A and B are shown apart, each in its own frame.
Chain A
Amino acid sequence: MPKFSLFSIRASLLYLVIGGSVGGIMLVSKAIGVWPWIWYWRTAHIHAMLVGWLLNLIFGVAFWILPRLDAHGWRGSPWLVWSASGLLQAALAVLVWASIWPWSAAIAIASSLECLAAIAIAWHCWPRLQPLIIEPRPAKTSKLD
Chain B
Amino acid sequence: MPTLARYYIRTAFVWLVLAFAIGIAMLTSQLWALKTNPLAALQIVFYHALMVGWVTQLIVGVAIWLFPVHSREQPRGNENVAWAAYATFNLGLGLRSIVEPLLQWAPSGLVKWAIVGAACLQVAALWLILLMLWPRVKAKVSKAK
Contacts and interface: CB of A to CB of B under 8 A. Distances in A.
B93 to A, nearest CB: 11
A14 to B, nearest CB: 8
A1 B119 contact: no
Contact of B137 (A6, A23, A53): A6
A5 B111 CA distance: 42
A27 B137 contact: no
Contacts of A3: 139
A: interface residue count bin? 20 to 34
B123 to A, nearest CB: 4
A31 interface: yes
Interface string B110-133: 011101101110110011011001
A67 interface: no
A28 interface: yes
Contacts of A84: none
A62 to B, nearest CB: 13
B56 A21 contact: no
A20 B123 contact: yes
A27 B96 contact: yes
Interface of B is mostly: helix
B129 A1 contact: no
Interface residues of B, number: 28
B53 interface: no
A21 B126 contact: yes
A87 to B, nearest CB: 22
Interface in A7-45: 9-10, 13-14, 16-17, 20-21, 23-25, 27-28, 30-32
A15 to B, nearest CB: 10
A76 B51 CA distance: 32
B115 A16 contact: no
Contacts of A125: none
B103 interface: yes
Question: Which of B55, B113, B126, B134 has the largest number of chain A CB atoms within 10 A?
Answer: B126
A30 B134 CA distance: 31
A44 to B, nearest CB: 16
A43 B4 CA distance: 33
Q: Top 8 A-B pairs ranked by shortest CB distance? A: A24-B123, A31-B115, A27-B119, A20-B126, A24-B119, A31-B112, A17-B126, A9-B137
Given A1-B141, A49-B51, 7 more contacts: A5-B137, A6-B139, A20-B126, A21-B126, A27-B115, A28-B116, A57-B59
Interface of A: 1-3, 5-6, 9-10, 13-14, 16-17, 20-21, 23-25, 27-28, 30-32, 49-50, 53-54, 57
8 contacts: A6-B138, A10-B137, A13-B133, A16-B130, A27-B116, A28-B115, A31-B113, A31-B116
